[in-house]
Structure 1
Amino acid sequence: MTADAPFPAVPLSQEAIAAHVRSVLDDELPPIVAAGHPVLRRAAQDYDGQLDDATLARLIDTMRRVMHAAPGVGLAAPQIGIPLRIAVLEDAGAADPEIAAARSRPALPFTVLINPRYTATAGEVDAFYEGCLSVPGYQAVVERPHRVEATYARPDGRIVTTGFAGWPARIVQHETDHLNGTLYLDRAILRSLTADAEHHRWARPTVDEARRGLGF
């Protein structure tokens, strides 16, 4: 099974999805599930109104709080055990001007993606280290398109198409991959895999030094 061929979802009824979401939201700050949990390896179901407006708003708010508490810059619903195509993103950007320029990492305001799909819109590819809240303790280099065009619904139901470039495009791709049952490690250059305790060696604006040091 390739990263682009997600394991099919097991459809749940509207009643079952709604009941499951309510049970997850009983926890003030639901735990993030880790790699090995089957919800991370199946394509999530499209969101098509399974939740009432108040429950959807509560889910989005909870996901935002879980993301901030982790802390992270994105969170997909499957990461808290909910198999729906919903993700939240937010990034303050890189404070270091050199890193911000090298990684094209401006601030990304809080964004909700519902049923997102993306396509690359340019041939340029960026390679940087990524981590994942569901794969704690490690980071690895992932090559991703520099620019993508994403089509998704907003919480009010309006469908929009938005272009993302640089680090925001990387976050969109990472979180949309989660909704397809794909982890970043499926796309990573595994020779670059680095434990968090060792990542200080390669924490540079680019991965050039890590390429030389680790031979990838």
Structure 2
Amino acid sequence: MAAGRFSRIIKDLINPKPPKPPYSHVVQIGDPALRAKALTVEPKELGSEHIQQVIKTLVKTMRRYKCSGLAAPQIGVPVRIIAVEITKNHVRAHAPAVVKAREMRVTPLRVFVNPELTVEDFTTIQSPEGCASLRALTGIVERYRSVTVSGVSPDGERTEWRADGWAARAVQHEMDHLAGLMYVDRCDPRTLEHQHWALINARAGRFLQHFDGFRNRQWGLFL
């Protein structure tokens, strides 16, 4: 009996069972959830244990990966839920000139279920974007300067928020995820670059890239 349990433990260590969504990690490009059109959360489902767990895991994973935004498809659940949060550390990670140019401001946590987007300022700004689902790459993307996002809060209340600058960019980026789009679908491919290309050269290719979120030091670029 004890030998059987020991055998199963060893088997699980060697070939662990894959977790089920919602994941506590961010899925990577190639995962079907990133290309699926996210489903609307029905009112009767909002208070369910499953949807509330998705929201809780989404926020926890966003913070673990130090993202300024995350969408439910990025944790393997193709439903219409997004979260945005720009922390002091996100802002402090950039030079004052960059913060000013990108209009980066501390933004408290916002979670939207079934969000809808309205453009408020059709002025467009080109700026580098990255994505936690496409680690270490960035590309120049053109986004509207100001948008309003409306939807339902996790508590079921109607909510609306006007986002400007970097926050508006984060919202548009996450809304793209709900449509099965990624920033590489919008950027000029000639602007794509690996954030650590110089370091990789300096180390003669000896470079280890992590996907667990804890080692991500690129504050504010991953969305």
* Length-normalised TM-score, structure 1: 0.75
In 2 relative to 1, CA 170–105 (structure 1 residues): closer, same or farther, beyond 3 Å? Answer: same
Question: 2:177 maps to which residue?
Answer: 178
Residue aligning to 1:71: 66
- Residue identity matched to 1:42: A
Aligned equivalents of 1:42, 1:54: Cα separation in 2 = 23
**Could you tell me which of 10, 31, 35 is aligned with 1:37?**
31
Hey, what does 2:91 align to over in structure 1?
Answer: 94
CA offsets 1:54-104 (integer angstroms, 9 cap, x no match): 443332221111111222111111111101101111111522432221110
Q: SS state of the match for residue 122, structure 2? A: coil
How far off is 1:187 after superposition?
A: 0.8
Q: Secondary structure at the match of 1:178?
A: helix
Q: Aligned match of 2:21 in 7, 20, 24?
A: 24
Aligned partner of 1:9 in structure 2 is none
Counting only pairs closer than 5 Å after superposition, residues 44-193 of structure 1 correspond to structure 2 as 44-48=38-42, 49-50=44-45, 52-92=47-87, 93-95=90-92, 96-193=95-192
- What are the ranges of 5 or more consecutive residues in structure 1 without an aligned counterpart? 1-21, 201-216
Structure number with greater Rg is 2
For 2:196, what is the secondary structure of its paired residue?
Answer: helix
Counterpart-to-counterpart distance in 1, 2:156 and 2:66: 28
How much has 1:39 moved relative to structure 2? 1.1
The 3 A distance-change label for structure 1 pair 112 and 199 is farther
- Distance in 2 separating the partners of 1:118 and 1:132: 20
Distance in 2 (CA, whole Å) between partners of 1:75 and 1:87 is 6
Large movers: runs of 4+ above 6 Å: none
1:50 maps to amino acid = E
Check conservation: 2:150, 2:159, Cα contact below 8 A.
yes
RMSD (Å) for aligned C-alpha atoms: 2.0
SS at match of 2:91: coil
Q: TM-score, normalised by structure 2?
A: 0.73
Higher relative CO (Cα under 8 Å, sequence separation at least 6) belongs to 2
Out of 53-62 and 111-120, give the one that drifted further.
Answer: 53-62
> Which SS does the other structure have where 1:34 is aligned?
coil
Identity within the alignment, %: 33
- How far did residue 23 of structure 1 move? 4.2
Q: Shift of the alpha carbon at 1:24?
A: 2.5
Aligned equivalents of 1:117, 1:184: Cα separation in 2: 19
